[in-house]
Homo-oligomer: A and B are copies of this chain.
Protein backbone atom coordinates (compact mmCIF):
# COMPACT_ATOMS: atom_id res chain seq x y z
CA UNK A 1 0.00 0.00 0.00
CA UNK A 2 1.37 3.42 -0.93
CA UNK A 3 0.88 6.10 1.72
CA UNK A 4 2.22 9.38 0.38
CA UNK A 5 4.43 10.67 3.17
CA UNK A 6 4.01 14.25 1.95
CA UNK A 7 0.32 14.35 2.76
CA UNK A 8 -0.81 14.83 6.37
CA UNK A 9 -3.59 12.54 7.67
CA UNK A 10 -7.13 13.89 7.33
CA UNK A 11 -8.39 14.58 10.81
CA UNK A 12 -11.15 17.17 10.33
CA UNK A 13 -14.44 16.61 8.46
CA UNK A 14 -14.22 20.30 7.55
CA UNK A 15 -10.83 20.04 5.86
CA UNK A 16 -10.45 21.26 2.29
CA UNK A 17 -9.75 17.76 0.99
CA UNK A 18 -12.94 16.36 2.48
CA UNK A 19 -14.89 19.28 1.02
CA UNK A 20 -13.46 18.64 -2.43
CA UNK A 21 -14.65 15.03 -2.36
CA UNK A 22 -18.06 16.08 -1.01
CA UNK A 23 -18.35 18.69 -3.77
CA UNK A 24 -18.28 15.88 -6.38
CA UNK A 25 -22.00 15.42 -5.68
CA UNK A 26 -22.44 18.38 -8.09
CA UNK A 27 -21.90 18.15 -11.83
CA UNK A 28 -20.07 21.48 -12.13
CA UNK A 29 -17.56 20.43 -9.45
CA UNK A 30 -17.03 17.10 -11.21
CA UNK A 31 -16.22 18.96 -14.42
CA UNK A 32 -14.01 21.53 -12.70
CA UNK A 33 -12.05 18.90 -10.74
CA UNK A 34 -12.26 16.35 -13.59
CA UNK A 35 -13.07 13.77 -10.93
CA UNK A 36 -16.03 11.67 -9.75
CA UNK A 37 -16.75 9.78 -6.57
CA UNK A 38 -17.17 6.04 -6.11
CA UNK A 39 -18.81 4.73 -2.91
CA UNK A 40 -18.85 1.36 -1.20
CA UNK A 41 -16.49 -1.64 -1.24
CA UNK A 42 -18.15 -3.36 -4.22
CA UNK A 43 -17.95 -0.35 -6.54
CA UNK A 44 -14.44 0.61 -5.37
CA UNK A 45 -13.38 -2.99 -6.01
CA UNK A 46 -14.78 -2.89 -9.56
CA UNK A 47 -13.02 0.43 -10.24
CA UNK A 48 -9.66 -0.87 -9.04
CA UNK A 49 -9.98 -4.23 -10.76
CA UNK A 50 -11.43 -3.20 -14.12
CA UNK A 51 -10.52 0.46 -14.60
CA UNK A 52 -7.40 0.97 -12.46
CA UNK A 53 -6.19 3.71 -14.82
CA UNK A 54 -9.08 5.90 -13.63
CA UNK A 55 -8.45 5.46 -9.87
CA UNK A 56 -6.82 8.49 -8.22
CA UNK A 57 -7.26 7.96 -4.48
CA UNK A 58 -8.92 5.47 -2.14
CA UNK A 59 -10.21 6.24 1.36
CA UNK A 60 -10.80 3.33 3.75
CA UNK A 61 -11.82 3.05 7.36
CA UNK A 62 -9.80 0.70 9.54
CA UNK A 63 -12.72 -1.72 9.53
CA UNK A 64 -13.24 -1.72 5.74
CA UNK A 65 -9.50 -2.23 5.20
CA UNK A 66 -9.61 -5.28 7.44
CA UNK A 67 -12.93 -6.62 6.03
CA UNK A 68 -11.77 -6.11 2.41
CA UNK A 69 -7.98 -6.60 2.31
CA UNK A 70 -8.16 -7.02 -1.49
CA UNK A 71 -8.97 -3.30 -1.87
CA UNK A 72 -5.57 -2.17 -0.60
CA UNK A 73 -3.88 -4.92 -2.67
CA UNK A 74 -5.65 -3.83 -5.86
CA UNK A 75 -4.90 -0.17 -5.12
CA UNK A 76 -1.25 -0.99 -4.56
CA UNK A 77 -1.08 -2.87 -7.86
CA UNK A 78 -2.72 0.10 -9.57
CA UNK A 79 -0.34 2.57 -7.94
CA UNK A 80 -3.29 4.36 -6.31
CA UNK A 81 -2.67 5.93 -2.91
CA UNK A 82 -4.82 4.60 -0.05
CA UNK A 83 -5.63 6.66 3.04
CA UNK A 84 -7.07 5.54 6.36
CA UNK A 85 -9.88 7.78 7.54
CA UNK A 86 -12.45 7.74 10.33
CA UNK A 87 -16.06 6.82 9.62
CA UNK A 88 -16.91 10.45 10.44
CA UNK A 89 -14.55 11.76 7.74
CA UNK A 90 -15.95 9.34 5.19
CA UNK A 91 -19.51 10.40 5.93
CA UNK A 92 -18.51 14.06 5.54
CA UNK A 93 -17.15 13.18 2.08
CA UNK A 94 -20.70 12.25 1.05
CA UNK A 95 -22.49 15.21 2.59
CA UNK A 96 -24.39 17.48 0.22
CA UNK A 97 -22.63 20.84 0.54
CA UNK A 98 -25.56 22.98 -0.51
CA UNK A 99 -27.91 21.55 2.13
CA UNK A 100 -25.56 19.91 4.64
CA UNK A 101 -27.76 16.82 4.32
CA UNK A 102 -26.33 13.34 4.06
CA UNK A 103 -26.72 11.50 0.79
CA UNK A 104 -29.90 9.53 0.40
CA UNK A 105 -30.68 6.53 -1.75
CA UNK A 106 -33.66 6.21 -4.08
CA UNK A 107 -35.93 5.29 -1.17
CA UNK A 108 -34.81 8.27 0.89
CA UNK A 109 -32.73 6.20 3.30
CA UNK A 110 -29.39 7.59 4.37
CA UNK A 111 -26.50 6.21 2.34
CA UNK A 112 -23.43 4.83 4.04
CA UNK A 113 -20.26 4.25 2.04
CA UNK A 114 -19.56 1.12 4.16
CA UNK A 115 -16.08 2.31 4.86
CA UNK A 116 -14.83 2.79 1.29
CA UNK A 117 -14.76 5.79 -1.05
CA UNK A 118 -12.62 6.34 -4.13
CA UNK A 119 -12.00 9.37 -6.30
CA UNK A 120 -11.61 8.62 -10.00
CA UNK A 121 -10.72 10.57 -13.13
CA UNK A 122 -13.80 11.82 -15.00
CA UNK A 123 -13.72 10.66 -18.63
CA UNK A 124 -13.71 13.58 -21.06
CA UNK A 125 -17.10 14.66 -22.42
CA UNK A 126 -16.34 14.52 -26.09
CA UNK A 127 -19.09 13.46 -28.53
CA UNK A 128 -16.36 11.87 -30.67
CA UNK A 129 -15.84 9.23 -27.96
CA UNK A 130 -19.16 7.55 -28.80
CA UNK A 131 -18.11 7.28 -32.43
CA UNK A 132 -14.79 5.80 -31.39
CA UNK A 133 -16.50 3.32 -29.05
CA UNK A 134 -18.79 2.05 -31.82
CA UNK A 135 -15.84 1.76 -34.22
CA UNK A 136 -13.87 -0.14 -31.58
CA UNK A 137 -16.52 -2.91 -31.47
CA UNK A 138 -15.80 -6.18 -33.31
CA UNK A 139 -16.77 -5.76 -36.97
CA UNK A 140 -18.48 -9.12 -37.15
CA UNK A 141 -20.33 -11.50 -34.86
CA UNK A 142 -23.23 -10.89 -32.50
CA UNK A 143 -23.22 -7.95 -30.15
CA UNK A 144 -25.63 -5.88 -28.06
CA UNK A 145 -25.55 -2.14 -27.47
CA UNK A 146 -27.83 -0.19 -25.12
CA UNK A 147 -28.57 3.41 -26.12
CA UNK A 148 -30.22 5.70 -23.56
CA UNK A 149 -31.83 8.84 -24.93
CA UNK A 150 -33.18 11.53 -22.57
CA UNK A 151 -33.26 9.22 -19.54
CA UNK A 152 -33.27 11.92 -16.86
CA UNK A 153 -33.17 10.12 -13.54
CA UNK A 154 -29.64 9.26 -12.33
CA UNK A 155 -30.93 6.21 -10.44
CA UNK A 156 -32.49 4.87 -13.64
CA UNK A 157 -29.29 5.51 -15.60
CA UNK A 158 -27.25 3.59 -13.02
CA UNK A 159 -29.69 0.68 -12.81
CA UNK A 160 -29.85 0.46 -16.61
CA UNK A 161 -26.05 0.22 -16.77
CA UNK A 162 -26.13 -2.56 -14.16
CA UNK A 163 -28.80 -4.49 -16.08
CA UNK A 164 -26.98 -3.99 -19.40
CA UNK A 165 -23.88 -5.47 -17.79
CA UNK A 166 -25.80 -8.43 -16.32
CA UNK A 167 -27.32 -9.23 -19.71
CA UNK A 168 -23.91 -9.25 -21.38
CA UNK A 169 -24.24 -6.01 -23.36
CA UNK A 170 -21.06 -4.85 -25.07
CA UNK A 171 -21.50 -1.08 -24.82
CA UNK A 172 -23.80 1.53 -23.25
CA UNK A 173 -24.20 4.88 -25.02
CA UNK A 174 -25.96 7.85 -23.44
CA UNK A 175 -27.09 10.89 -25.37
CA UNK A 176 -26.21 14.39 -24.15
CA UNK A 177 -29.62 14.91 -22.53
CA UNK A 178 -29.42 11.90 -20.19
CA UNK A 179 -28.62 12.16 -16.50
CA UNK A 180 -24.88 12.07 -15.81
CA UNK A 181 -23.71 8.47 -15.24
CA UNK A 182 -20.94 9.87 -13.00
CA UNK A 183 -23.30 11.47 -10.47
CA UNK A 184 -23.11 9.69 -7.10
CA UNK A 185 -26.71 8.43 -7.41
CA UNK A 186 -26.01 6.85 -10.80
CA UNK A 187 -22.69 5.38 -9.66
CA UNK A 188 -24.37 3.89 -6.57
CA UNK A 189 -27.22 2.38 -8.63
CA UNK A 190 -24.74 0.86 -11.11
CA UNK A 191 -23.00 -1.09 -8.27
CA UNK A 192 -19.68 -1.34 -10.13
CA UNK A 193 -21.09 -2.08 -13.57
CA UNK A 194 -19.97 1.39 -14.71
CA UNK A 195 -16.47 -0.14 -14.77
CA UNK A 196 -17.40 -3.50 -16.30
CA UNK A 197 -18.25 -2.39 -19.82
CA UNK A 198 -17.67 0.77 -21.85
CA UNK A 199 -20.18 3.49 -20.89
CA UNK A 200 -19.96 6.61 -23.04
CA UNK A 201 -22.01 9.78 -22.47
CA UNK A 202 -22.53 13.00 -24.39
CA UNK A 203 -23.43 11.89 -27.92
CA UNK A 204 -26.18 13.25 -30.19
CA UNK A 205 -28.82 10.69 -31.12
CA UNK A 206 -28.61 11.42 -34.87
CA UNK A 207 -24.85 10.84 -34.90
CA UNK A 208 -25.26 7.62 -32.93
CA UNK A 209 -27.89 6.21 -35.28
CA UNK A 210 -25.67 6.98 -38.28
CA UNK A 211 -22.62 5.42 -36.64
CA UNK A 212 -24.51 2.27 -35.59
CA UNK A 213 -25.86 1.87 -39.11
CA UNK A 214 -22.37 2.16 -40.58
CA UNK A 215 -21.18 -0.53 -38.16
CA UNK A 216 -23.95 -2.88 -39.30
CA UNK A 217 -25.73 -2.69 -35.93
CA UNK A 218 -29.52 -2.50 -36.19
CA UNK A 219 -31.08 0.13 -33.94
CA UNK A 220 -34.28 -1.21 -32.35
CA UNK A 221 -36.83 0.97 -30.59
CA UNK A 222 -39.62 -0.23 -28.33
CA UNK A 223 -43.04 1.21 -29.02
CA UNK A 224 -46.53 0.31 -27.90
CA UNK A 225 -47.67 0.88 -31.49
CA UNK A 226 -45.14 -1.35 -33.26
CA UNK A 227 -46.60 -4.14 -35.39
CA UNK A 228 -44.01 -6.73 -34.39
CA UNK A 229 -43.97 -8.24 -30.93
CA UNK A 230 -40.65 -8.69 -29.15
CA UNK A 231 -41.02 -12.42 -28.51
CA UNK A 232 -41.81 -13.29 -32.13
CA UNK A 233 -39.83 -10.58 -33.95
CA UNK A 234 -36.68 -11.52 -35.75
CA UNK A 235 -33.82 -9.88 -33.90
CA UNK A 236 -30.61 -9.23 -35.81
CA UNK A 237 -27.41 -10.57 -34.31
CA UNK A 238 -25.95 -7.08 -34.06
CA UNK A 239 -28.49 -5.06 -32.17
CA UNK A 240 -28.73 -1.69 -30.39
CA UNK A 241 -31.73 -1.23 -28.08
CA UNK A 242 -32.79 2.42 -27.86
CA UNK A 243 -34.68 3.42 -24.73
CA UNK A 244 -36.21 6.84 -24.22
CA UNK A 245 -37.40 9.27 -21.59
CA UNK A 246 -39.17 8.03 -18.43
CA UNK A 247 -42.39 9.96 -19.09
CA UNK A 248 -42.51 10.43 -22.84
CA UNK A 249 -40.60 7.46 -24.23
CA UNK A 250 -38.80 8.04 -27.53
CA UNK A 251 -39.59 11.11 -29.63
CA UNK A 252 -41.28 10.61 -33.00
CA UNK A 253 -38.19 11.49 -34.98
CA UNK A 254 -35.98 8.93 -33.25
CA UNK A 255 -38.70 6.27 -33.51
CA UNK A 256 -39.00 6.92 -37.24
CA UNK A 257 -35.21 6.84 -37.69
CA UNK A 258 -34.76 3.46 -35.95
CA UNK A 259 -34.80 0.67 -38.56
CA UNK A 260 -36.54 -1.74 -36.18
CA UNK A 261 -39.43 -1.26 -33.75
CA UNK A 262 -40.94 -3.91 -31.50
CA UNK A 263 -43.77 -3.96 -29.03
CA UNK A 264 -43.30 -5.57 -25.63
CA UNK A 265 -46.44 -7.66 -25.04
CA UNK A 266 -48.50 -6.45 -22.09
CA UNK A 267 -50.81 -9.11 -20.74
CA UNK A 268 -52.55 -7.37 -17.86
CA UNK A 269 -54.15 -3.96 -17.52
CA UNK A 270 -50.95 -1.94 -17.04
CA UNK A 271 -50.74 0.67 -19.77
CA UNK A 272 -46.99 0.76 -19.99
CA UNK A 273 -43.71 -0.36 -18.48
CA UNK A 274 -41.17 1.92 -16.92
CA UNK A 275 -37.96 2.42 -18.89
CA UNK A 276 -35.93 0.02 -16.77
CA UNK A 277 -38.53 -2.77 -17.00
CA UNK A 278 -38.73 -2.34 -20.78
CA UNK A 279 -34.93 -2.45 -21.11
CA UNK A 280 -34.73 -5.56 -18.90
CA UNK A 281 -37.26 -7.46 -21.01
CA UNK A 282 -35.48 -6.55 -24.26
CA UNK A 283 -31.94 -7.18 -23.02
CA UNK A 284 -32.71 -10.56 -21.43
CA UNK A 285 -34.74 -11.72 -24.43
CA UNK A 286 -31.66 -10.89 -26.51
CA UNK A 287 -29.50 -12.88 -24.12
CA UNK A 288 -31.94 -15.81 -24.16
CA UNK A 289 -31.86 -15.99 -27.96
CA UNK A 290 -28.10 -15.69 -28.08
CA UNK A 291 -27.78 -18.62 -25.67
CA UNK A 292 -30.37 -20.67 -27.53
CA UNK A 293 -28.55 -20.23 -30.86
CA UNK A 294 -25.08 -20.73 -29.39
> A165 to B288, alpha carbons, bound, how many Å?
23
From A12-20, A67-75, A268-276, the one touching the partner chain is: A268-276
For the complex of A and B, the 7 pairs showing the least CB-CB separation, nearest first, are A168-B267, A166-B270, A196-B269, A165-B268, A165-B270, A280-B280, A107-B153
From A56-64, A129-137, A155-163, the one touching the partner chain is: A155-163
Mask, A64-96, CB within 8 Å of B = 1, is 000000000000000000000000000000000
> A191 to B271, alpha carbons, bound, how many Å?
9
A175 within 8 A of B: no
Q: List B contacts of A165 (CB < 8 A).
A: 268-270
> A167 to B272, alpha carbons, bound, how many Å?
11
- Minimum CB–CB distance for A102 against chain B, Å: 13
Query: Would A163 and B287 count as touching, CB distance under 8 A?
Result: no
Q: List B contacts of A273 (CB < 8 A).
A: 162-163, 166
Once A196-B268, A268-B169, A280-B281 are accepted as A-B contacts, the answer to whether A274 and B162 lie under 8 Å apart by CB is yes
Mask, A257-294, CB within 8 Å of B = 1, is 00000001111111111101100110011011001100
- Minimum CB–CB distance for A248 against chain B, Å: 15
- Minimum CB–CB distance for A216 against chain B, Å: 21
Mask, A98-113, CB within 8 Å of B = 1, is 0000001011100000
> A291 to B232, alpha carbons, bound, how many Å?
10
- Residue of B46, B107, B163 near A277 (CB, 8 A) is B163
> A104 to B192, alpha carbons, bound, how many Å?
27
A197 within 8 A of B: yes
Q: How large is the interface on A (under 10, 10 to 19, 20 to 34, 35 or more residues)?
A: 35 or more
- Residue of B106, B192, B269, B285 near A155 (CB, 8 A) is B106
> A270 to B159, alpha carbons, bound, how many Å?
11
> A107 to B164, alpha carbons, bound, how many Å?
21
> A276 to B54, alpha carbons, bound, how many Å?
31
In the complex, the chain B residue whose C-beta lies closest to that of A156 is B107
- Minimum CB–CB distance for A39 against chain B, Å: 16
- Minimum CB–CB distance for A223 against chain B, Å: 15
A154 within 8 A of B: yes
Q: A166-B270, A193-B269, A285-B288 are in contact. List 19 more A-B contacts (CB 8 A).
A: A104-B108, A106-B107, A108-B108, A159-B277, A162-B277, A163-B270, A164-B268, A165-B270, A166-B267, A166-B268, A166-B272, A166-B277, A167-B267, A168-B267, A196-B268, A196-B270, A231-B291, A265-B291, A280-B284
